[in-house]
Amino acid sequence: MNLRRLVAIAYKETLQIWRDPRSLAIALLMPVMQMGLLGYGVSLDIKHVPLCVYDQEQSSLSRQIVDSFTAAQWFRTVAVLGTDRELRAAMDHGSCTAALVIPVGFTRTLFTTGRAELQTVFDATDTNTANVATGYAQGIVAQLDATLNARWQAAHAVSASAAGTVNLSPRVWFNEGLDSRNFIVPGVVAIILALVGSQLTSLTVSREWERGTMEQLISTPVTALELMFGKMTPYFAIGLLDAAFCLAVAAFWFEVPFRGSLFALIVTTALFALVVMGLGYLLSVRIHSQLGASQIALMLTMLPTTMLSGYTFPLDQMPRAVQAVSLIVPARYYVAILRAVFLKGSSLWEMAVPIAALVIYAGLIIRAAARAFRKSLD
Amino acid sequence: MSSAGARIAITASGVSRHFGELAAVSGVDLSIARGEIFGLVGPDGAGKTTLMRMLAGVLRPDAGSITLDGIDVLADPEAVKPRLSYMPQRFGLYEDLTVAENIFFYAELFGGAPAERRARTAELLEAAGMAPFRRRLAGQLSGGMKQKLGLVCALIHQPSVLLLDEPTTGVDPVSRRDFWAILYNLRESGVTIMFSTAYMDEAERCSRLALMHAGKVRLCDTPARLKQAMPGVLLAVSAPDPRAVRAALAEAPGVLGVLLKGDHVNLRADSTARAGEFAAILGARGIAYTAITPEAPGIEDVFVALTGAQAAS
């Protein structure tokens, strides 16, 4: 490999990128757009679930229960109902997703028997929301229960130890606020890098074939490796710039906690950029049309990285066969790495497995791309 | 390498190439000496481009062998590339780069000292009459300028063999003159030049030429000897309506071929003595003509005589 020819190709390519508004637009605008769209648009947190309150008792305790439901941001009261019929209608119309029913005699039953029942009704057409809202309701009731219990024990002069209550005190690590944005945004960076990276390089060789410049180029002493590394160098720089931009937005704008080392982040990001750009380049060499190559690059990155990288859809919840398929999606490893670096502060060594997977991937793709190029019109 | 081999720049033997059913080039044998300006002449579709591509090592033949400067092109296509310059028929430079950037790119691909590159760039741009256009984007050049830029890029690394595929197609006469001036200078320095053309008048500028038709080389010799080889003699009939003359005489006894040449018709006949008979036929049919005179054959006449086809003129 001759460094001078490599540099000549890289320089030429840089000039062409600079003068091709389409490439530049893809390179610079797509990440901005996607970061905003995906960072803001995708959130798994369910807040302000519309709640109908049907308080049949109207006591001080029942009002306290209603207040505890709406005190946090999980529920928001949209209607106060007076009859069963109204409850039915409200659920049918979908004006509320959840309803809280406090039966008559709730307070009396509770303080005489020590047990009383509240009813919550959920509209489960959206199962995920219903599930999450059920969880919220249980949490609120459990807390309420603990407060009431303490009060009841105090009133009856029974010590807590004698009652033998077991309290679970859950601690959540790495994402203390259980904020799904902290979980999703690093994945968004991986998706953007995969899309932009593969798109950029998918155009580069096919453009030479399409414009008829390849015939003269292959009559020179340039080699497949010089062409590949020369062409990939400027795009690699653009890809890293995009990644730096997206990662900075993740850390400073979306305020995803960053606990790892910058060095680990740079090394792994460069590695992933190499994989996706190698893939785009391979397609560009194989398919002599810009449109065809970029379409296939889009197909090969868009769906796998969104569905099978674990960025929103947890991989361990998928059927075994799908999990096996996800092993060949490079974004899966980078998403895992990003989450580990951001939220856990993992070191390179702790991420050895996904890093090794990316190294193998990069090696295979670069090798395939180098071999796919033929200095011939055949 | 034998001493005879050292004088030979390009050899092709039995070179063939098919595209599906079509035999684009079949069984071509050529031997081109160092320092020749060798022309490959033939109409569109004769197989010129396919043959040039195979010689340049960018397309593999189905059969046959090719050597350039004694190097086997098929066995080691990369070994000949530093010595070779190939200018494809379709403009192969970067339209979004300037003249100077294109030249710099090709110079760097072939290596060489920067000082030498600068001197050579200046010299070639001067010779091509393109010095004022260094900063112009290649895409904004005229057709002739583009071809001259192609030649400058091809010559920047001082190749020993130059392969030009229809370099002057669509080029204005002034640019063509610059173009040929550069080529003649190159020959002085021992560069072997092979070019293809559909223009018969350019063929006369070659030291030797090959007439190609339907994938085969029909004749290969100096222009002078090719003309002598033409069967029959040539009579030029000048007339206000040359088409009428052609129609009247095409089937006349003694006529071997007819070629329309703008304001006159070239009749290939078995003897100059037929001139009187032809005048009589034209007179009998009432077709006006100004003169019937013997004419020295051009390459196009030879070509038509050999193939029956009329090439671009």
- Looking at residue B247, what is its pLDDT? 87
CB B130 within 8 A of CB B152: yes
The domain segmentation of chain B, as residue ranges, is 3-226, 231-296
* Chain A: closest CA distance from residue B163 (Å): 10
- Looking at residue B9, what is its pLDDT? 93
Identify which of A81, A148, A68 has the alpha carbon closest to the alpha carbon of residue A121. Answer: A81
Tokens for B228?
Answer: 């002598």
- Which chain A residues contact residue B84 at CB under 8 A? 219
Of B60, B90, B153, the CB nearest to A376: B60
Contact B111 A4 (CB under 8 A): yes
Contact B97 A376 (CB under 8 A): no
CB B42 within 8 A of CB B211: yes
Tokens for B165?
Answer: 């595929």
Residue A175, classed as helix, strand or coil, is coil
- Which chain A residues contact residue B97 at CB under 8 A? 12, 15-16, 19
| pLDDT mean across residues, chain A | 86
Of B58, B78, B109, the CB nearest to A5: B109
CB A293 within 8 A of CB A309: no
Indicate if the pLDDT at residue A276 is higher than 90. Answer: yes
Q: What is the pLDDT of residues A195-210, one digit of tens each?
A: 989 988 998 999 999 9
Lowest mean pLDDT among A221-235, A307-321, A342-356, B2-16: B2-16
- Give the amino acid at A186: P
Indicate if the pLDDT at residue A185 is higher than 70. Answer: yes
Model confidence at A163, pLDDT cuts 50, 70, 90, reads very low
C-alpha–C-alpha distance, residues B177 and B116, integer Å: 26
For every one of its 313 residues, what pLDDT tens digit does chain B have, with 9 covering 90 and above? 444 445 899 999 999 999 999 999 999 999 999 999 999 998 888 999 999 999 999 999 999 999 999 999 999 999 999 999 999 998 889 999 999 999 999 999 998 899 999 999 999 999 999 999 999 999 999 988 999 999 999 999 989 999 999 998 888 888 888 888 889 988 888 899 999 988 887 888 899 999 999 999 988 999 989 888 888 889 999 988 888 888 888 888 888 888 888 888 888 988 888 888 888 988 888 888 888 888 888 888 888 887 765 443 3
Q: Do the domains at B3-226 and B231-296 have one common CATH topology?
A: no
- Helices marked H in chain A — which ranges? 3-19, 21-41, 60-71, 84-93, 106-113, 127-155, 160-163, 180-202, 204-211, 214-217, 224-248, 262-286, 290-308, 320-326, 330-339, 352-372
Domain with CATH 3.40.1710.10 in chain A: 49-163
- Looking at residue A160, what is its pLDDT? 47
| B66 CB within 8 Å of a chain A CB | no
Tell me which range, A169-183, A224-238, B173-187, is most confidently predicted by mean pLDDT. A224-238
* Chain A: closest CA distance from residue B204 (Å): 27
Work out the average pLDDT over A309-334.
86
Q: What is the pLDDT of residues A20-66, one digit of tens each?
A: 887 787 788 888 888 888 777 766 667 788 898 998 888 888 888 88
Q: How far is CA B181 from the centre of its chain?
A: 16
Indicate if the pLDDT at residue A298 is higher than 70. Answer: yes
Q: How far is CA A35 from the centre of its chain?
A: 11
A350: number of Cβ within 10 Å:
15
As a whole number of Å, the CA-based R_g of chain A is: 29
Contact B92 A19 (CB under 8 A): no
- Give the amino acid at B72: D
- Which chain B residues contact residue A211 at CB under 8 A? 94-95
Contact B92 A212 (CB under 8 A): yes
Tokens for B163?
Answer: 């392969």
In CATH, what is the architecture of B3-226?
A: 3-Layer(aba) Sandwich (3.40)
Give the chain A residue whose CA is nearest to the CA of B98.
A15
C-alpha–C-alpha distance, residues B179 and B197, integer Å: 14
Burial of A202 (C-beta count, 10 Å sphere; 0-12/13-18/19+): buried
Of A4, A213, A217, the CB nearest to B108: A4
- Looking at residue A210, what is its pLDDT? 92
Output the DSSP codes for chain B.
--HHHHHEEEEEEEEEEEETTEEEEEEEEEEEETT-EEEEE--TTSSHHHHHHHHTTSS--SEEEEEETTEETTT-HHHHGGGEEEE-SS--S-TTSBHHHHHHHHHHHH---HHHHHHHHHHHHHHTT-GGGTTSBGGGS-HHHHHHHHHHHHHTT--SEEEEESTTTT--HHHHHHHHHHHHHHHHTT-EEEEEES-HHHHTTSSEEEEEETTEEEEEE-HHHHHHTSSSEEEEEE-S-HHHHHHHHTTSTTEEEEEEETTEEEEEES-GGGHHHHHHHHHHHT---SEEEE----HHHHHHHHHS-----
Return the percentage of chain A with pLDDT > 70, whole number: 93
Give the chain B residue whose CA is nearest to the CA of A375.
B58
Contact B101 A15 (CB under 8 A): yes
CA distance readout (Å), A47 to A50, A51, A97, A188, B216 = 9, 11, 12, 22, 80
**Total-model pTM:** 0.80
User: 3-state secondary structure string, B218-235?
Assistant: EEEECHHHHHHCCCCEEE
Contact B81 A221 (CB under 8 A): yes
Structure ipTM: 0.86
User: Hey, what CATH class is B231-296 in?
Assistant: alpha beta
B114: number of Cβ within 10 Å:
10
Higher-pLDDT residue of A317 and B126 is B126
Q: Which fold has domain A49-163?
A: abc type-2 transporter like fold (3.40.1710)
Contact B109 A220 (CB under 8 A): yes
Tokens for A350?
Answer: 């702790």
Indicate if the pLDDT at residue A11 is higher than 90. Answer: yes
Residue found by looking up tokens 């008792």 in the block: A57
Work out the average pLDDT over A136-148.
82
Identify which of A298, A46, A70, A60 has the alpha carbon closest to the alpha carbon of residue A194. Answer: A298
Candidates B96, B97, B146, B151, partner chain A, best to mutate (most A CBs within 10 A): B96
Contact A8 B93 (CB under 8 A): no
C-alpha–C-alpha distance, residues A169 and A171, integer Å: 7
C-alpha–C-alpha distance, residues B145 and B171, integer Å: 8
Phi, psi of B216 (to 5 degrees): -125, 150
C-alpha–C-alpha distance, residues A241 and B22, integer Å: 51
As a whole number of Å, the CA-based R_g of chain B is: 22
* Chain B: closest CA distance from residue A377 (Å): 5
- Give the amino acid at B307: T
Of B88, B93, B94, the CB nearest to A16: B94
- Looking at residue A235, what is its pLDDT? 93
Helix axes A330-339, A352-372, angle to 10 degrees: 150
Instruction: State the DSSP code for A249.
Output: I
CB B36 within 8 A of CB B208: yes
Indicate if the pLDDT at residue A99 is higher than 60. Answer: yes
Model confidence at A368, pLDDT cuts 50, 70, 90, reads very high
- Which chain B residues contact residue A219 at CB under 8 A? 56-58, 81, 84-86, 88
Contact A16 B96 (CB under 8 A): yes
- Which chain A residues contact residue B59 at CB under 8 A? 376-378
Indicate if the pLDDT at residue A268 is higher than 80. Answer: yes
Indicate if the pLDDT at residue A175 is higher than 70. Answer: no
Instruction: State the DSSP code for A351.
Output: G
- Looking at residue B162, what is its pLDDT? 95
- Which chain B residues contact residue A210 at CB under 8 A? none
Candidates A13, A204, A218, partner chain B, best to mutate (most B CBs within 10 A): A218
A101: number of Cβ within 10 Å:
18
Q: Which helix (H) or strand (E) holds A203?
A: none
C-alpha–C-alpha distance, residues B72 and B37, integer Å: 21
Return the percentage of chain A with pLDDT > 90, whole number: 35
| B100 CB within 8 Å of a chain A CB | no
Contacts 24+ apart (CB under 8 A), B120-125: B120/B155, B120/B156, B120/B158, B121/B152, B121/B156, B124/B152, B124/B155, B124/B156, B124/B182, B125/B99, B125/B152
